[in-house]
Amino acid sequence: ECRAILDIAGTPERTRNHACKVRDVAAALGRALADAGVPVNTGEVEAAALLHDVAKGQPDHEAAGARMLSESGFSRIGDIVSVHQELVDDIDSVDIETKLVYLADKMVIEDRLVPVEQRYRASEEKYGHIPDALENIIARKNRAQAVKAEVETMLGQPVECIIGGLSS
């Protein structure tokens, strides 16, 4: 079903490759959490990770993708997609499936696995001279690192130990 949705949306191959890597990371983390006894819907994690950029290229692609998925009867997946780029400040109120897709997306550039810090380094270099922009970038990086730390606490080990074999 996910591939059919990507086909219908005309999602480019480059975006699909990114989404497949995000899915691999999110799924590995989801399975590891489930194995550790954490309740997680791994099917939702995989579907949302694969579809998180279904509307990439459209204005406000998160909302556009969520709308497309909701209209197709996949509102729960749409809910996750709607916040994959920017979580609310109160991350404690966010469910684990959403956090896993969010974190996995922050650990993948194109179709390469990268540390969270690297994901934000280019933005810091490009916009670091603009105080408000830098403040936003740092807040986003800190949020991603907080989610990563939370997942690592639940796992009892660094996420890299789980996803290390996924390197490109």
Residue 87 sits in a domain whose CATH number is: 1.10.3210.10
Mean pLDDT score of the chain: 89
Q: How much of the chain, in percent, has pLDDT values that exceed 70?
A: 95
Question: Using one digit for the tens of pLDDT, what is the confidence trace for 128-165?
Answer: 999 999 999 999 999 999 999 999 999 999 999 999 86
39-45 average pLDDT score: 97
Higher pLDDT, 164 or 108: 108
Which residues, including other chains, have CB under 8 Å from residue 51's CB and lie 6 or more apart?
2, 5, 6, 19, 65, 69, 74, 77, 81
Regarding pTM above 0.85, the answer is yes
Q: What was the pLDDT predicted at 88?
A: 67
Of 35-49, 51-65, 110-124, which has the strongest mean pLDDT?
Answer: 35-49
Structurally, the chain folds into a number of domains equal to 1
Domain of 66 in residue numbering reads as 2-166
Give 39-44's long-range contacts (Cβ < 8 A, gap of 24+): 39/96, 40/96, 40/97, 40/100, 41/97, 44/76, 44/77, 44/80, 44/97
Strands annotated E in 60-147: 108-109, 112-113
